[in-house]
Structures are given as structure tokens and as C-alpha cells.
Structure 1
Amino acid sequence: MTEPSTQEQTTTTNNAPANVAVDTSFENDSSYGDELSSYTASLTSSVLDYRHENGRRYHKFRDGSYLLPNDESENDRLDMAHEMCLLILHRKLYLAPIKNPQRVIDLGTGTGIWAIDFADLHPQAEVIGCDLSPIQPSLVPPNVKFLVDDIESEWAYENNPFDFIHARNLLCSIKDFEKLIKQCYRSIKPGGWVEFQDWDGYPYSQDGSHNDTGLKQYFDEVHGAFQKAGYEVRPGVKLESLFKDTGFVNVHVEKFVAPHGVWPKDPHLKEVGTWMQAQAEAGYEGIALAALTRYQKWTKEEVMILASKARADGRNRKIHAMYDFYVVYGQRPEN
């Protein structure tokens, strides 16, 4: 019998509605364990000697490889983004059909909130959260540990592979998604699953209301700076082909839409849009500052003006911006 091709094993589900109706009723106004292996960094004073710039705090380990802050304001935003993603996925942490996972890693874990939730849901699993900054809480489930490491460096997990590898919201963080996904393939057990949840970072509108706005200007300028620095800002649209080209089978793609603001008529999309607006407003300055001041030579004051324009247009219910969110998962072949 002829084996099905990878293309035949690919399933795509588009959860984005053909048209998002506008609500017209509104007026416009763990503890850190010791890891004595070659692929982890110990928590030394150099890791904790953070970089301070333009009133924000940044990681020191591999200084400059990540352009977003790691201070409390940014950590609060990351937790809001976690809640928003849970809403988009109807309270699901992941969509891959994993069964009884024993060893799991969360790439770019941030505050560790996904890893902690997963560990609570799967107490039998050993869950590792990996990030450049040791910003995670110390009181965590006993089956969670956090490591300081750069996921774009060479891995050494092949001899102790995972059942499930998860990554979310890595846009503007990774320069080489192809290399990263290949490292995931080498570090997942045969039959294991890898799932990436990520964005097309550019907002759009179905009615053209997003054109010629401060919100559009913000993303054009900020994402242009990230691209100049070598970062991927639209990973969501590329994940399917990267998974298939790497060799994953049973590749599944689900596409969701996330509005910006409370303008949708649909109650679920309105709630998602509320969280999108809240986390965006918490992050406009922090996301833009390093990228624009380091790579485009903007002043802090110019960045603040740009962020203020984006914030104002994000609150304007006549501007119907939205983003596409992709969940892509695939399985390493058994053989």
C-alpha cells in the first residue's frame, strides 16, 4: 500500500469568519534547578545584571538578542496576552492531540504562565520552561522547572527528547524560524508533537477603516525596525510550509481572527478584542522603544508620540482592525 503524502496528511481549518460584523450600538468616542549540561546557562550574576534603557529593563544574558523589556509592566502584558490566547482557543492551552505526555518544553516561556498551567493539567509530565530571562515565579508546581537559555542557539536535547514541544507568540523574537523548527524536529520523540501558535503581525481591516491611521503607522514603523534587525514579524503565515518542509506529518493548521477593540458585534470576538486592546495599550511603548531607538535612531519622545497615536486609534470604534492568529501542529513520523 502506498503511504499518503505529507500534503495529503495536512489538514487546514479556517476559524476566521468571512466577515466580522461591527457592533453599531456604540457611539464613537518553579524554582531554578541546577542543570550541569552544555545546553543551559546557570543563574549567575551576569544573567541578573539587567540592562536599563529609556526607563525600561531588558535581559542581560545574550544582551540585545531580544528587543522587548523584561520588567514588571511587560510581564503583566504577557500574562494578559496569555488570557487573550486562551479566549481565542476557547480555554485550550494547545490543540495538538497529545496523549499522556511525559516530557514537555515551552520555548520562550516568558512569565512561565503557560508552562505552569500545563503542569497543573498534566501532573505526570516533566515541564520545562526556557527563556532568556529568569522572570518566572518561584512558587510553581513540583513538575515545572525553568531554564535560562537562548532557543536560537544550538540545542542538545536529542539524547533526551520530548513528547511535546510548544511555542507561542515568538514573532519579533526569532530571526530563523526554519532553524528553530528543525531543532524541534531533532528534539522530539518519534510520534511526538510540536505546536507553534503565532501571528501575522500586521493588522488589517475588512472595510478599509484601518488604512491611513496611527495604528497602521505604528506597526509599519515598528515592524519595519524589527525586520531591519533581522526578526520575523509574520511567522504565522509561514509555519505550515516550514513544518511540512522539515518533515513533520499530520500537519494541522487552524486560523483564528483577533479584533482590536470592542467594535465586533459577536460577543466572543468582542471579548477577545477587549483583551487585545488591553494588552496592546500596555505594550505599545515597550515593544517599540528598543527597536526604533537602536535601529532607526528615533528618540524616546518620538516613540511615545507614535504609541500615543496608536493608542488613540485603537480606541476608535470606527476603526475595525484585526489580526490573524495561527495554530500549527505536526507530528514527527514514528519511523
Structure 2
Amino acid sequence: MTESFAQGQTVTTNHGPVNVEVDTSYENDSSYGDELSSYTASLTSSVLDYRHENGRRYHKYRDGSYLLPNDESENDRLDMLHELCLKMLHRKLYLAPIKRPQRVIDLATGTGIWAVDFADEHPEAQVIGCDLSPIQPSLVPPNVKFLVDDVESEWAYDRDPFDFIHARYLAASIKDFGRLVKQCYRSVKPGGWVEFQDWDVYPITLDSSLKDTGLHRYYDEVCSAFEEAGYEVRPGPKLERWFKDAGFVNIHVEKFVVPYGVWPKDKHLKELGTWAQAQAEAGYEAGALAILTRYKNWTKEEVIALASQARADGRKRNVHTIFNFYVVYGQRPEN
């Protein structure tokens, strides 16, 4: 775990070697299609009266609960993250061993892309996607329904328990993950499954290449600001404990190493790194603007400069950044 990242050398991780490729030109898939942005339900004007700030658009319902934008640029980034997760999980939407689910919910569904894909894959299931923002598409499979709600509030849609509850990349958006996991336990059927997929947002490197970079400073500034505001930015490695505390059994934990950039020699890791870099570059300003301007008195221009330096240093081939991503699922006991 401590070998150098010098060109041509190998670093061993829990998922095997990560090799640095020599002399490959920079590749960056920076777009992932247009986002559909209408909503199926009839909504009050207050929900759609979005907050506009520093050139970005934010949710109105429970204003300020979530500190990232909900505009088209951010929605495109979320769909890039969806593709990154599919590549990471070898095109699987989930890892839990569910069988013939009838009632499913996707927490903080975002653009709704996971819920739609799951509904297509399981036409026998009724799928709910809930989010603070009504940004989901209107043309969806008939077994999908979207709701505007705050998943950290008491749920009003769990009178009929779920067979499967899914949540993905809620880092920096939830304050009490332990409480949320316990709510999932109460709302899933005996024998049903809950799966969370999430990051440890802090970047790491197995050499010293990240030290004193703009990329390192960005995550230090932004993550510490979120933590001071009460948000959890490192849920991935803590999910197993929260699942155990809630009472789940048959808990399974899988950790994925996600490189940042195209420096790995391995083709699959290089592809993951390319997608990780593309979505990160699209999201630096989105992730920092609200938290730093509202909570830390930064100016918009200071945030843009911070994001620009992170973007520039992240493209350097001698900066070998890694993120850890966790998939954790557990089962509510039958009795």
C-alpha cells in the first residue's frame, strides 16, 4: 500500500494493482447527454419557485437543506455520475440479492435516472423516486412515480413497507445518516433489503503527489465547511456500522477504488478515472458555491478561482488521486 507511483510502477490496493500508464494523451468525455427536466405530478408554485444565486439554481422546497444546484448543468453531472456507477458495478444498478420486488423507493432520486432504469428492468415493481427538486422526466415507465419530499423528515409514503430501498451518493447532503438508515429499517418489509452506495469524499493518494495541490486545497476547504455546517461528507466507510446499529443482518460491504484522471494503465480503471474526472470538473463550482458563500463568506470570484485551480491540478498526470466508493446492503430479519 505504500509503493511509489513513479511511471511504470505498481501500487497494490485491496482490489489489486493500480498501474500508472506512461505517455498517454489526455482524454475527457465531458458530456453525457441532455437532461429531461419536467415533472409528472401537479406541483404548487412554491415548489417550482426556485432559488437563484450566483448564477446557479437551487431547490425551493425546504430551502437550504441541500446545498448543491438543481439546474441543467448539475443534472447533466448527476447523469454522468450514474454512468460512472454503472461502469464501476459492471452495468448493475444494485448488488443486493433482491428477488421479484413489488414496491421500491429510490431516496434523493435526483434526475430519476436510477428509478427509471430500475423500473425498466423490473416491470413488476412499483418504483417511487423522491427528491427535494421536481427535476425528473415526464416520459417514464408506467410503474414509476416521483414525489417531492425531504428524506430526513418523517416519511408519509411508507404505510405500505418496501421490498427494496435504495440510496446513492448522499454525501454532503444528509446530516444524520444513522437516523435515515433506521428509518429505512422501519420502512422495509421483514426479509427486504436496503442498499446505500456512497463516497468517502476526501481524496487520497498512495504517494505524496496530492500534497500542496489546488485539488487538495479544494477538498480541504469544501469538506471542512460542509462538516462545520453539520453534513456528513464521509459516509461510505461508516455505512456498515449504521446498518448494524439499525438492526440489519446479512450485511455486505464492497469497497471500490476510483482513480481520478487517466493515469492508470489498466483500461477499466482508466475509464473510471476519465468519468470521475469529467463529472468532478463539471461539479467543482456547484459543490463549493453555496457552502462557501453562505457559510464561510467567500465571494463568487474566490470560489471560481478555487475550482479553477482544482481543475488544473487534477489534470496533471503526476497527481495520482484516488477516491473510495462503498456499496453496503443489508436485510431486515424475517422475524
Alpha-carbon separation, structure 1, partners of 2:134 and 2:152: 17
- Tell me the alpha carbon deviations over residues 255-304 of structure 1, each in whole angstroms, 9 at most, x when there is no partner: 00111000001100000000001000110001100000011100000000
Instruction: Verify the 8 A CA contact 2:77 2:279 in the aligned structure 1.
Output: yes
Instruction: Verify the 8 A CA contact 2:26 2:262 in the aligned structure 1.
Output: no
Matched, 1:282 2:290: no
Q: 1:26 aligns with which of 21, 24, 27?
A: 24
Instruction: Verify the 8 A CA contact 2:132 2:148 in the aligned structure 1.
Output: yes
Instruction: Verify the 8 A CA contact 1:31 1:145 in the aligned structure 2.
Output: no
Q: Counterpart of 1:231 in structure 2: which amino acid? A: Y
Give the CA deviation at 1:16: 4.2
Give the CA deviation at 1:228: 1.2
Aligned partner of residue 15 in structure 2, secondary structure: coil
- Tell me the alpha carbon deviations over residues 161-207 of structure 1, each in whole angstroms, 9 at most, x when there is no partner: 00000000000100000010000000000000000000000011112
Give the CA deviation at 1:157: 4.2
Trace 1:157-168 onto structure 2 (pairs within 5 A).
157-168=157-168
Alpha-carbon separation, structure 1, partners of 2:157 and 2:141: 23
Give the CA deviation at 1:23: 0.7
Alpha-carbon separation, structure 1, partners of 2:260 and 2:105: 30
Give the CA deviation at 1:210: 1.1
TM-score by length of 2: 0.91
The answer for unaligned runs of 5 or more in structure 1 is 1-14, 34-41
Q: Counterpart of 1:275 in structure 2: which amino acid? A: W
| Structure 1 residue aligned with 2:272 | 272
Give the CA deviation at 1:247: 0.4
Aligned partner of residue 136 in structure 1, secondary structure: coil
Alpha-carbon separation, structure 1, partners of 2:90 and 2:210: 27
Alpha-carbon separation, structure 1, partners of 2:210 and 2:168: 26
The answer for unaligned runs of 5 or more in structure 2 is 1-12, 28-37
- Tell me the alpha carbon deviations over residues 27-65 of structure 1, each in whole angstroms, 9 at most, x when there is no partner: 7999634xxxxxxxx721000000000000000000000
Aligned partner of residue 20 in structure 1, secondary structure: strand
| Structure 1 residue aligned with 2:243 | 243
| Structure 1 residue aligned with 2:30 | none
Q: Counterpart of 2:247 in structure 1: which amino acid? A: G
Identity fraction in percent: 75
Q: Counterpart of 2:264 in structure 1: which amino acid? A: P
Give the CA deviation at 1:67: 0.1
TM-score by length of 1: 0.91
Instruction: Verify the 8 A CA contact 1:70 1:135 in the aligned structure 2.
Output: yes
Alpha-carbon separation, structure 2, partners of 1:290 and 1:16: 36
Give the CA deviation at 1:156: 3.3
